[in-house]
Amino acid sequence: MIKTVGSICSGIEAASVAWRPLGLKFEWFSEIAPFPSRVLSEKFPQIVNLGDMNDIPEKLINENICAPDIICGGTPCQAFSLAGEKRGLNDERGNLTLRFVDIIEANDKIREKKNKKPCIVFWENVEGVLTDKTNAFGCLISSLAGLENVVEMKKWPNAGILEGKKRNVAWRILDAKYFGLPQQRRRLYVLAGGKEFHPEDILFEIHDRDFEEYPVGTLKFKKEGHSFEVFREYSDCLYSAYGTKWNGNAAAYNGSLFVVQDDRIRRFSPLECERLMGFPDDYTDIKGAKRTNRYQAIGNSWAVPVVQWIGKKLISNDSSKKYIYGDWKKYIDTSLINKYYDSILYNFNKGIIDMGKLKINCTEQPEECKFKSLKDIISGDPPKEIYISPVGCNGIIRRKQERNLKINTRLEKALLKVASEMTEEEIEKKSRIQKRGKHSQDKQKIVYV
């Protein structure tokens, strides 16, 4: 029976928000970033924060900390994202993925000593890890499965199973916008456990209904005495630099991370971002918190309802292989059989898997969807500092024109309206800056001729 949890790269602890109401007990956290650590200290003062995850294997082996039933973690995603230049295992942060496996091995060594089953492993990351050139995902799941050789693929499927001699591993991409959050947030979720554990029972579902389309809603509305306009029913994915960086980001031009409130354009507030991720209101509003701290911590966290959905299925799981009657053989990746004789890899990239007697859903959308719109998370009392100035609006329009970018037409209209309010002093200053920039470019051309 699952009772205890250890958390790696804890952040602001979406896992605790999701799983503690289910009756799971968190034994320890591991977080080094200052602001998230302060959030943990305030929200969970009774739970120890171990700090650096590199020290955890030794602490487990020496039994300085307990060896829990579940270990969850989301090792730094920057190594696999565009923002981090996708350096994978060549990035120190990417190598923490392998240290995560060391922690699992140390944990299970102590559990075996005490006649306990291997722990359940939960890992979350950006979908970019599936196309990582250093094969970090292959290293992770091969190590978890106990393979002697690392399985290599140019592009890993969005869902699949790897059955190894030590553990069974399953993975699936899920999108938070189908779980009651108005945010398109596709993330990879990995589950693993001992040979008696079948992670596919948790992550995959029997497909017996038609998929639901995201409902179309009103994009102009009144709430709390204010007039609002949004540009889509749900937002693009929140990122850690949200609120500080806009240049080149798609959301700056499709409008999905902008709100028009009473004819002024603004970002989402930290409160609204908390709601976009499924956290309680003002969860990160601790003493001395800066908006940038809150934005970064929220953007780096997990989608709470998705994690809770998986947690509920874990707790209710009876450890039986539910899909045993299906025809699994046709989804075995036969190209790997001769090379990796100690494992079986099932490729479920097609999403809906036809097993003959039943169909299995491995898509980003669950069988039972929950929908909310941006209207549900909007608050009418945001801080003044998150409004975009006329100069800022003008800058977005200028970059759109210079780079010949597409832009939401309603957004462009709203930007132009605010930009028209630039003062003569601001217009003159902008002109001087542009002239200096042109002069500098001309000088460089002369030098290189």
Query: Which H helix or E strand runs over 258?
Result: strand 258-261
- In 3-state terms, what secondary structure has residue 134? coil
Residue 163 has pLDDT above 80, yes or no: yes
Percent of the chain with pLDDT over 90: 69
The pair of three-digit structure tokens given for residue 380, joined into one six-digit string: 């009418």
Residue 21 has pLDDT above 80, yes or no: yes
The pair of three-digit structure tokens given for residue 82, joined into one six-digit string: 């565009």
For residue 14, how many other CB atoms are within 10 A of its CB?
27
**The predicted structure's pLDDT at residue 435:** 59
**The predicted structure's pLDDT at residue 109:** 97
Q: How many residues does the structure list for the chain?
A: 449
**The predicted structure's pLDDT at residue 246:** 57
Can you tell me the distance from the alpha carbon of 40 to that of 45, in angstroms, rounded to the nearest whole number? 7
pLDDT in tens, 84-99: 444 444 545 447 788 8
Average pLDDT of the residues in 150-176: 94
Can you tell me the distance from the alpha carbon of 169 to that of 159, in angstroms, rounded to the nearest whole number? 11
**The predicted structure's pLDDT at residue 319:** 59
**The predicted structure's pLDDT at residue 343:** 85
Residue 165 has pLDDT above 50, yes or no: yes
Q: Determine phi and psi for 87, rounding to 5 degrees.
A: -85, -10
Average pLDDT of the residues in 118-136: 92
Place of tokens 């959905």: 309
- Determine how β-strand 352-354 pairs with β-strand 359-361: antiparallel
**The predicted structure's pLDDT at residue 88:** 42
Query: Which H helix or E strand runs over 26?
Result: strand 25-29
Which residues on neighbouring strands pair with residue 125, listed in sequence order? 188
pLDDT in tens, 169-207: 999 999 999 999 999 999 999 999 999 999 999 999 999
Average pLDDT of the residues in 296-303: 96
Exposure string over 308-332, b if 16+ CB within 10 A, otherwise e: bbbbeebeebeeeebbeebebeebe
pLDDT in tens, 25-34: 999 999 999 9
Q: With contact defined as beta carbons under 8 Å apart, do 358 and 244 qualify?
A: no
Place of tokens 């992670």: 199
Higher pLDDT, 247 or 109: 109
Tell whether domain 4-210+301-361 is in CATH 3.30.70.80.
no
Residue 68 has pLDDT above 70, yes or no: yes
Residue 115 has pLDDT above 80, yes or no: yes
Q: What is the mean pLDDT of the chain?
A: 88
Residue 434: is it exposed, middle or buried by C-beta count within 10 angstroms (0-12/13-18/19+)?
Answer: exposed
How many helical (H) and strand (E) elements, i.e. helices and strands, does the chain have?
A: 14, 16
CA distances to 131, 284, 298 from 184, in Å: 20, 22, 15
Domain boundary assignment for the chain: 4-210+301-361
Strands laid side by side in the 70-73 sheet: 48-49, 25-29, 4-8, 70-73, 120-126, 186-193, 168-175, 159-163, 344-347
Average pLDDT of the residues in 413-429: 82
**The predicted structure's pLDDT at residue 338:** 52
- In 3-state terms, what secondary structure has residue 161? strand
DSSP class of residue 394 equals: H
pLDDT in tens, 260-290: 999 999 999 999 999 999 999 999 999 999 9
**The predicted structure's pLDDT at residue 393:** 92
Q: With contact defined as beta carbons under 8 Å apart, do 39 and 12 qualify?
A: yes
Q: With contact defined as beta carbons under 8 Å apart, do 253 and 406 qualify?
A: yes
Query: 110-114, 129-133, 336-340, 370-374: lowest mean pLDDT where?
Result: 336-340
**The predicted structure's pLDDT at residue 80:** 42
**The predicted structure's pLDDT at residue 430:** 61
